[in-house]
Amino acid sequence: MKPILNIAAYLFVSLDNLAELRDKMLGECNARHLKGTILLTGEGINMFLAGSGPELRGFLDWLREDPRFKSLESKDSWSETQPFKKMLIKLKNEIIRMNHPTIRPEEGRANFIAPKKLQEWLDRGTDDLGRPVVMVDTRNAFEVEYGTFENALHFNIEKFTQFPEAISAKKEELADKTLVSFCTGGIRCEKSGLYMREIGMGHSYQLEGGILKYFEEVGSAHYTGTCFVFDEREALEPNLDSIPVERSIRKKLKA
């Protein structure tokens, strides 16, 4: 097994005393030689961390001792080297900015579909009621360039705050379809799924755990390309390995 464990995790939960919490978490991370980024907000936590397996799992166990983080789950992958250069904990207003304060995932999640059930739908081309299934990519345009689900709908957006207007414009066109929104690890879909329901797109779901969980449980079925990740690995193959250097889009752009 490769020596470095990488985790992506988030949880929508009300948090206060953020500066104090940041100091405690930073102390734990540094003591365990972890690197990565944690976002702390009043609406929850989002993190991408890497380190040795025992130390990183120990940090998660420590974090879950706080009742607010007891239900935190992670998406895991492994790498040969540490993909982060330092340890950062940032205080923000939102985990993922959408500019729709009425959308509050902590108060109730959108309907979700498990990766293996989604594969069953995509194999058949319809959901369990016989409705056509459309995959809705909520990510930014540059992320979509690395890879996405076959025939997925995407909007060439540059930031997530543009998603509500983009999906609203397609409401009538998609009225007779079952929609499954997806993103890297699921966090954007916690809000996009609720928004789609709010505007009357009743037959909509979010992919539980995002692309990374789909790779972990299903693999490459119905997916073309790789998945961009926000660290030095750049993107992951469906087997959760880092892309080879010769396939790096980022390095080609710098050349």
Catalytic positions, written as ranges: 183
DSSP summary character for residue 126: B
Helix (H, G, I), strand (E, B) or coil at 60: helix
Give the count of beta carbons closer than 10 Å to the beta carbon of residue 95.
22
List 179's β-bridge partners, or say none. 134, 204
**Residues facing residue 198 across a β-bridge:** none
8 A C-beta contact, residue 76 and residue 2: no
Q: Is residue 113 a contact partner of residue 158, using CB atoms and an 8 Å limit?
A: no
For residues 12 and 75, the answer to whether their CB atoms sit within 8 Å is no
Which residues make beta-bridge pairs with 11?
Answer: 45
